Amino acid sequence: MNSGNNILKLAMIGCGGYAGYLIDRLAELPEVCELLAVTTPDPDDPSAQACREKGLPVYNSADELLDNVSLETCHAILIPTSIDSHYEYARKAIERGFHVLLEKPPVSTIQDLDRLIELQRESGRFIAVNFQHLYSDATQQLKQRLGRGEFGAIRYVKGHALWQRPESYFSRSFWSGRLQIDGKWVLDGTIGNPLAHLMAEALYLATSEAGMANPVRVQAELYHANDIESEDTSVVRLETEKDVPVFFCASLCADEMPPILCEMETDQGTIRLHDHRHAEIHYRDGREEVLGSPEPNDKTDRNLMIKSVCRALLRNERPMITVEECRPYMLAWNGAFESAGQPAAIAFDRKETEHGTMRVIDGIKELSQKAFQEQSLFSELGVDWAMPGAPVDLFGYGCFPSVNPVLMDRELDGQVAAV
């Protein structure tokens, strides 16, 4: 064990899949963190064997791990598990006195988030949420300059993303594309999983104050072309507390993948942030400015986040993004489902790619770009398959689901209703 006092000691729940990717990232930062132990439900898993070969203890469950690591030797628990498991694992870890590093999304419902916020306040420990792209150099420079008023008032922020995911993506795990599992909400989809970073980024840049802009009203449309319960295509319009509109449009069913775009208009001009890390600023007086790098590098943003969070937790200081700062994101995500209800199935074409068969929504590129440009829902653009969601007020909202009867009907004595 590295005995340095400037090293954050971590234990991880999980070791395969995405957890395995994180193990590699942690190993790149020996100056700031050290992994002490992991878990696996399958002792014969190759990932578990690889951890043993590195000298890492491998426990069979989270409870066994928490029973075998102590506060004297371990500072924090890293949780990169399924969405539906986040709350229980985070609760157990923080109640044992550990800090927590929680993968996004933090939990699936606003009520579970509020419980974790309360536990964070009571415990004196922190639950950091791994929205790594908020730590990118370009995003942080924009946030700081917005805070100093350099760009003037924010007029709107909007996000657009078209990704490609093969049919196999939605069968890669037991929770992929699910609304619920065994009575627990999952809400997997563009807003709550692969493109959650874009929603968080739009809300983060929609306020010059710390944290994210708080939504007070939402209207959304949710669809799926793939054979799933939840959504793979979404369009969401938000009103925020400080009257800055936020718009989000995303799909995993596109026939091409342009750069992710977060665009904002301010009194001084238009700012376009591409792929979370390359910003182009177009001032109204004709000047132009570039921030960050156009080269895609997810590892860079994650490493920046790990360094920032580890250094904060070692000093028992609040990380930049904890469960409390994520409450606006949760309002937007849960509110979108309250507005749209159960996602609607729509027509698709099949396309063969090097990654396998993919379902593509005909004309999604042109449709999503028009929606993005006009900040319009698909139903407002005259699309024959579009189904408008109801506007939902989020003042005082604290329980999902509590507005949409279609979602409330799914909660039958803790069991999943038939789809």
Secondary structure of residue 54 in the 3-state scheme? coil
Helix or strand holding residue 39 (H, E): strand 33-39
Query: Closest Cα partner for 205 from 292, 147, 150?
Result: 147
* pLDDT for the residue 293: 81
Decide if 144 contacts 235 (C-beta within 8 A).
Answer: no
- The gap between the terminal CA atoms of the chain, to the nearest Å, is 50
- CA angle at 324 for the pair 322 and 329, rounded to the nearest 5°: 95
What is the rounded CA–CA span in Å between residue 106 and residue 324?
10
Q: In this structure, what are the phi and psi dihedrals at residue 41, rounded to the nearest 5 degrees?
A: -80, -10
134-296+325-416 CATH fold: Dihydrodipicolinate Reductase; domain 2 (3.30.360)
Residue 286, CA distances (Å) to 243, 281, 283, 289 in order: 27, 10, 5, 10
Q: In this structure, what are the phi and psi dihedrals at residue 102, rounded to the nearest 5 degrees?
A: -110, 125
What is the rounded CA–CA span in Å between residue 144 and residue 161?
25
* pLDDT for the residue 3: 43
CATH number of the 8-132+306-314 domain: 3.40.50.720
What is the rounded CA–CA span in Å between residue 196 and residue 336?
13
Sequence-ordered strand ranges (E) for 211-364: 215-224, 233-240, 246-251, 261-266, 269-274, 278-283, 288-292, 344-345, 349-353, 356-360
Q: In this structure, what are the phi and psi dihedrals at residue 344, rounded to the nearest 5 degrees?
A: -95, 140
What is the rounded CA–CA span in Å between residue 284 and residue 287?
7
What is the rounded CA–CA span in Å between residue 239 and residue 394?
10
* pLDDT for the residue 296: 59
> Phi-psi region for residue 341, left (φ > 0), alpha (ψ -120 to 50) or beta?
left
* pLDDT for the residue 1: 37
Tokens 């238009």 correspond to 270
DSSP 322: B
Q: Show pLDDT as tens, one digit a residue, over the chain (419 residues).
A: 344 578 999 999 999 989 999 999 999 999 999 999 999 998 888 999 999 999 999 999 999 999 999 999 999 999 999 999 999 999 999 999 999 999 999 999 999 999 999 999 999 999 999 999 999 999 999 999 999 999 999 999 999 999 999 999 999 999 999 999 999 999 999 999 999 999 999 999 999 999 999 999 999 999 999 999 999 999 999 999 999 999 999 999 999 999 999 999 999 999 999 999 999 999 999 999 999 887 756 688 999 999 999 999 999 999 999 999 999 999 999 999 999 999 999 999 999 988 899 999 999 999 999 999 999 999 999 999 999 999 999 999 999 999 999 999 876 544 443 33
* pLDDT for the residue 297: 66
Q: What is the dihedral of CA 402, 408, 412, 414, to 10 degrees?
A: -50
Number of neighbours of residue 112 by Cβ within 10 angstroms: 22
Secondary structure of residue 78 in the 3-state scheme? strand
Burial class (CB in 10 A: 0-12, 13-18, 19+), 288: exposed
* pLDDT for the residue 109: 98
Decide if 125 contacts 99 (C-beta within 8 A).
Answer: yes
Query: Closest Cα partner for 383 from 349, 336, 346?
Result: 346
Tokens 């994101």 correspond to 329
* Domain spans in the chain, listed from the N-terminal domain onward: 8-132+306-314, 134-296+325-416
Query: Quick one: tokens of 159?
Result: 């996000």
Decide if 319 contacts 76 (C-beta within 8 A).
Answer: no
Q: What share of the chain is helix, strand, coil (3-state, %, to 5)?
A: 30, 25, 45
> Phi-psi region for residue 328, left (φ > 0), alpha (ψ -120 to 50) or beta?
alpha
Query: Quick one: tokens of 288?
Result: 């132009």
